[in-house]
């Protein structure tokens, strides 16, 4: 039986804007700060990413879906302007390299009903479909569940790297993606021009749009009867922009997780290699490894300077503590946050741990060598970070 034909698409600004407006039957994308990074992204995808036909169509589709989401966001805000009256209290933000226990810590603390946490389907589709009544089944959930199923079918290794669940707490990185100021595209394709553009331009518009989306999600959660005190957020992306995060969310508390980059950097490269290989037949593992190693080495270096100016807003957590005593680690964090861990919440956390044991997932296999790394090279590139947070611990 012949393979189905993949539609030919144009990775051009007019094409994605027109496709989004046609699908959503709306025209207002909100402010136009997303246009410059989107133009660079499209050019980089078109000229540099070495996408196969499936990857090209997939990137076009994802961008159109993001733009449709923006149209739906503005649709809801136009009809309910009180969404922008939602007060975003100073959040608790978990930040650390990938593979440092951030997902475990995030989902464990999300068991506490005093926190709002973004769910995967909410980050992928932040606005309900027009006309949703908040009483019937939310059409976004089956959409997200099917997308997760397709991702795991296309790359089964993802299940051993990051537990993907449509209705579980997950990163707000995909909310940032809607501004086109995010590292999500770099996780799916080789995009050196886009990556350089993001590094050289002020990413404040992305964080301002993130606040707008959190207001919309908070308003929705209240409509569903959920009332919490503040947001619990998590993404390694914030390491690149801690200064902007703290400026746009004044009073935020940052929980920085730590684990040796000799373990984390090859692991995150393995995950991004799996994602990139879904859309390209020409993935250079060494090139990919150098890109992500350089990116996070520079960001960790800049993070040290930000921490020096805002030391009172940081809580440090080591991966070994989270892995060996997760609830005890949460309790130590709570003491620094001035929160009590009551027996009921502790019991819910213990139940979650029992239902989500790491040993129930396949092991994640990778090596330094497959991404062109050596132990000595990584030690040299992350020397100050390791000396500050690991070797002295």
At 70, the pLDDT band (50, 70, 90 cuts) reads: very high
Question: Where are the strands (E) in the chain, listed by range?
Answer: 92-96, 115-116, 230-234, 253-258, 314-318
Report how far residue 249's alpha carbon sits from residue 90's, in angstroms, rounded to the nearest whole number.
6
Is 361 a residue whose pLDDT tops 60? no
pLDDT over 80 (residue 218): yes
Phi and psi (nearest 5°) for 160? -85, -15
Better-scored residue on pLDDT, 335 or 130: 335
Taking the C-alpha atoms of residue 303 and residue 150, their distance in angstroms, rounded to an integer, is: 36
Q: What is the pLDDT of residue 246?
A: 98
Q: Do residues 188 and 46 make contact, with C-beta atoms less than 8 angstroms apart?
A: no
Task: Look up residue 230 and give its two tokens.
Answer: 């503040």
Tell me the whole-structure pTM to 2 decimals: 0.94
- The answer, yes or no, to whether residue 364 has pLDDT greater than 70, is no
Average pLDDT, the chain: 94
Question: Is a pLDDT exceeding 50 seen at residue 1?
Answer: no
Residue 251 has pLDDT above 80, yes or no: yes
Beta sheet of 314-318, edge-to-edge order: 115-116, 230-234, 92-96, 253-258, 314-318
Residues 6+ apart with CB under 8 A from 252: 90, 91, 92, 93, 245, 246, 313
Q: Which of 113, 105, 93 is nearest to 326 (CA)?
A: 105
pLDDT > 90 in the chain, percent: 87
Q: Please give the domain boundaries of the chain with CATH numbers for all domains.
A: 89-389 (3.40.50.300)
Tell me the C-alpha to C-alpha distance, in Å, between residue 8 and each of 93, 190, 277, 308: 41, 20, 20, 51
Kindly calculate the radius of gyration of the chain based on its CA atoms and give it in whole angstroms: 21
At 258 the three-state DSSP class reads strand
Question: What are the tokens at 64?
Answer: 């159109």
User: Closest Cα to residue 144, out of 121, 168, 178, 174?
Assistant: 121
For residue 151, name the pLDDT band (cuts at 50, 70, 90): confident
What pLDDT does residue 163 have? 75
- By mean pLDDT, which of 68-77, 102-111, 163-172, 232-241 is the weakest? 163-172
pLDDT above 50 (res 261): yes
pLDDT, position 393: 54
- pLDDT, position 6: 85
């Amino acid at each position: 039986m012949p393979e189905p034909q993949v539609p030919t698409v144009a990775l051009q600004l007019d094409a994605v804007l027109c496709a989004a407006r046609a699908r959503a039957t709306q025209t207002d994308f909100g402010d136009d700060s997303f246009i410059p990074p989107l133009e660079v992204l499209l050019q980089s995808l078109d000229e540099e990413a070495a996408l196969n036909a499936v990857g090209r169509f997939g990137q076009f589709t994802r961008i159109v879906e993001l733009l449709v989401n923006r149209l739906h966001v503005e649709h809801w805000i136009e009809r309910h302007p009180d969404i922008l009256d939602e007060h975003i209290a100073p959040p608790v933000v978990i930040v650390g390299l990938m593979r440092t226990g951030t997902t475990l810590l995030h989902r464990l603390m999300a068991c506490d009903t005093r926190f709002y946490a973004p769910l995967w389907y909410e980050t992928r589709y932040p606005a309900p479909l027009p006309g949703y009544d908040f009483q019937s089944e939310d059409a976004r959930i089956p959409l997200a569940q099917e997308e997760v199923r397709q991702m795991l079918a296309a790359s089964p290794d993802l299940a051993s790297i990051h537990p993907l669940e449509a209705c579980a707490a997950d990163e707000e990185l995909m909310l940032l993606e809607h501004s086109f100021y995010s590292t999500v595209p770099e996780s799916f394709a080789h995009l050196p021009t886009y990556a350089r553009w993001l590094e050289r331009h002020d990413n404040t518009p992305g964080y301002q749009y993130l606040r707008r989306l959190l207001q919309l999600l908070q308003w929705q959660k209240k409509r569903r009867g959920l009332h919490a005190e503040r947001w619990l957020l998590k993404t390694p992306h914030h390491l690149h922009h801690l200064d902007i995060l703290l400026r746009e969310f004044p009073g935020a508390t940052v929980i920085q997780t730590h684990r040796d980059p000799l373990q984390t950097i090859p692991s995150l490269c393995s995950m991004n290699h799996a994602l990139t290989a879904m859309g390209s037949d020409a993935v250079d593992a060494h090139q990919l490894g150098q890109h992500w190693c350089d990116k996070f080495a520079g960001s960790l270096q800049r993070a040290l300077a930000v921490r020096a100016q805002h030391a009172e807003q940081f809580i440090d957590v080591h991966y070994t503590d989270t892995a060996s005593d997760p609830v005890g680690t949460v309790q130590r964090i709570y003491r620094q946050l001035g929160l009590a861990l009551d027996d009921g919440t502790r019991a819910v956390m213990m139940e979650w741990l029992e239902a989500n044991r790491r040993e129930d997932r396949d092991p994640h296999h990778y090596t330094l060598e497959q991404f062109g790394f050596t132990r000595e090279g990584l030690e040299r590139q992350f020397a100050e970070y390791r000396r500050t947070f690991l070797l002295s611990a």
